[in-house]
Chain A
């Protein structure tokens, strides 16, 4: 039978996904499933457990403290003791029962619509005006909330990918099954490239896909939740999620992730191919040694910042680093393109080293 390159590569990729099925394929599905399950439970109990449901809703629709108007009143009664309680205010009442209630929050700052209380222990549903324009991404958009979910997916992906890369050229040497793989007409280069493709293309695709599906389902379940609690699902949820920017932001974030992590991933593969005992120790000890040596000898931190540039991290404020966990998407103008290209060159060296080791030094 003719075996073309594509079929062979597909077989190699499937082999990896079979071996690491749990962490690479099932973990995001379980995690996404768990998030959806929590939301569904919230929907089921929304009516009965209003307090919990509303708390969840508050979190899910991204309410911040400002928009929750708890009415805390202090009643000075005749006995002289102080009593703290929360009172219900009828929206039809034009004035306040001044003798009983002292509103701590200045009523002048609260717009008229906010006095729309119908329950105790409630937050007020902000009016469309107070939420501002739905297209204002920096404003009350729910995209950063969904982006938070996505960032958790990314963090999990990072951990399982490191675990995968450290094991991928090591475990089969340890259990000697490499002798079986080597009895097949597959070159070391094909093997190494297939494994990198799994880490840099297949896994990000799986995680991004599952993450987006989860986010979209969460949005729709949140709408059901709001609807069950007599809120306006369209207003509170749907109009505040901008799907197209969401997908573009997260897709481009993933592209940047892939491009910038390549040298780090290649380094993990080199460690996996080189290690006699522990790929993890090797992968960690050498960079730490370099960072410390640089600091002691020159007092500088170039190595540390270079390494940091190629590992995902949270970007705050004006930090110009390129690869991160974003609230929205990457800022293309801030990307360190020179660092990216140099990263490719270093990655190519590491990969060549991994291929060489796999060919000549495979016995542990």
Chain B
């Protein structure tokens, strides 16, 4: 696995506020990485810095290029959906296809038309006539028809209903993703991406709180449901979070003694959402 993205103390400030605060990060090819954080955590700023849309300080390399000076070359290899509803509303769908065909060397119009034929979107439609869900389907069809190494999605399903969201991620996984491709998704809705991720990054206040592969997550973190007197005992092992469940508590532990904990109750692998809540609550 090759390193696709590498940042070294990447920094971006707006006035006195650090939107991205000394972030050092590596992302390998072939991964689906979720960039997860609450609103205002700096996810969008970080992604835009990676795409060369924001000026920033520090070391930055994406696919061997510096996005700050080589954005155009980079854009041939990288696709992104920066937001829902950024497709130009005055355009017809056929004109959007013409445009991308004319400027993008890795775009396959046939592929895009095939993907669109499965949707309600017609080439004669204007973008402004499409519903929000259809606009996202169009945008997704465009980026999926581009043979890019890296796909960056910034809150791609914001404002969509649950059916569209589910369909979106299924399509991404089934029709697009393979070992050659890397996907970086930012979201604050953890539960909808946790099943497709290979890696998770938690971000808060411009800093990376955690960056783990899903495999190592299962090894490093465990959740124990303890009842009665065992609660006191479990507290001694220093849970990073505890929430009340029926008759006791569910505690999440990081790098804890699994042998000892298994004596107190049944061990689970915590869901990414539970872990997210646990890590975000840390230090508060």
Interface residues of A (CB under 8 A from B): 1-3, 7-8, 10-12, 14-15, 18-19, 172, 175-187, 190, 360, 362
Contacts and interface: CB of A to CB of B under 8 A. Distances in A.
Contacts of A175: 88-89
Chain B: interface size category: 20 to 34
A244 B172 CA distance: 62
Contacts of B53: 179, 182, 362
B79 to A, nearest CB: 7
B83 A185 contact: no
Given A175-B89, A180-B86, A11 B75 contact: no
Nearest to B81: A183
Contact of B98 (A1, A11, A184, A190): A11
B202 interface: no
B128 to A, nearest CB: 10
Contact of A186 (B72, B79, B89): B72
Nearest to B87: A180
A15 B139 CA distance: 18
Given A176-B86, A180-B86, A187 B103 contact: no
B87 A177 contact: yes
A7 B103 CA distance: 8
A85 B191 CA distance: 96
Given A180-B82, A180-B87, A182-B71, 9 more contacts: A3-B105, A11-B98, A12-B102, A19-B90, A182-B75, A183-B75, A184-B100, A185-B75, A186-B75
A3 B103 CA distance: 7
B95 interface: yes
Given A8-B102, A11-B102, A183-B79, A18 B95 contact: yes
B91 interface: yes
A89 B247 CA distance: 122
B87 A185 contact: no
Contact of A183 (B80, B85, B90): B80
A186 B88 CA distance: 16
A185 B104 contact: yes
A189 to B, nearest CB: 9
B72 A185 contact: yes
Given A175-B89, A182-B53, A3 B95 contact: no
B244 interface: no
A20 to B, nearest CB: 9
Interface SS of chain A: helix, strand, loop or mixed?
helix
A134 to B, nearest CB: 49
Interface in B96-118: 98-105, 107
A145 to B, nearest CB: 39
A172 B88 CA distance: 8
A46 B81 CA distance: 63
Instruction: Sort A-B residue pairs by CB-CB distance and give the 7 closest, nearest first.
Output: A11-B102, A179-B82, A185-B75, A177-B88, A187-B72, A179-B86, A185-B76
B162 to A, nearest CB: 25
B39 interface: no
Contact of A177 (B76, B86, B95, B107): B86
Contacts of B76: 185
A2 B75 CA distance: 15
B105 A1 contact: yes
B131 interface: no
B89 A184 contact: no
B104 A3 contact: yes
Nearest to B100: A184
A362 B71 CA distance: 15
A44 B56 CA distance: 70
A11 B99 contact: yes
Contact of B105 (A18, A180, A185): A185
A26 to B, nearest CB: 14
A186 B103 contact: yes
Contacts of A179: 53, 82-83, 86
Contacts of B90: 18-19
Contacts of B51: 182-183
Most buried by A among B72, B87, B100: B72
A355 to B, nearest CB: 12
A14 to B, nearest CB: 7
B73 interface: yes
A184 B88 contact: no
B117 to A, nearest CB: 21
B104 A176 contact: no
Contact of A184 (B83, B85, B104, B139): B104
Contact of A14 (B79, B80, B98, B107): B98
A15 to B, nearest CB: 6
B55 interface: yes
A11 B96 CA distance: 11
B103 A183 contact: no
A175 B86 CA distance: 7
Nearest to B106: A1
B37 to A, nearest CB: 20
A15 B80 contact: no
A360 B55 contact: yes
24 contacts: A3-B102, A3-B104, A11-B98, A175-B88, A176-B86, A177-B86, A177-B87, A177-B88, A179-B86, A180-B82, A180-B86, A180-B139, A182-B53, A182-B71, A182-B75, A183-B75, A183-B79, A183-B81, A184-B75, A184-B104, A185-B72, A185-B103, A185-B104, A186-B75
Nearest to A183: B80
Contacts of A190: 72
Contacts of A360: 55
A10 B102 contact: yes
Contact of B103 (A12, A18, A172, A176): A12
A19 B89 CA distance: 10
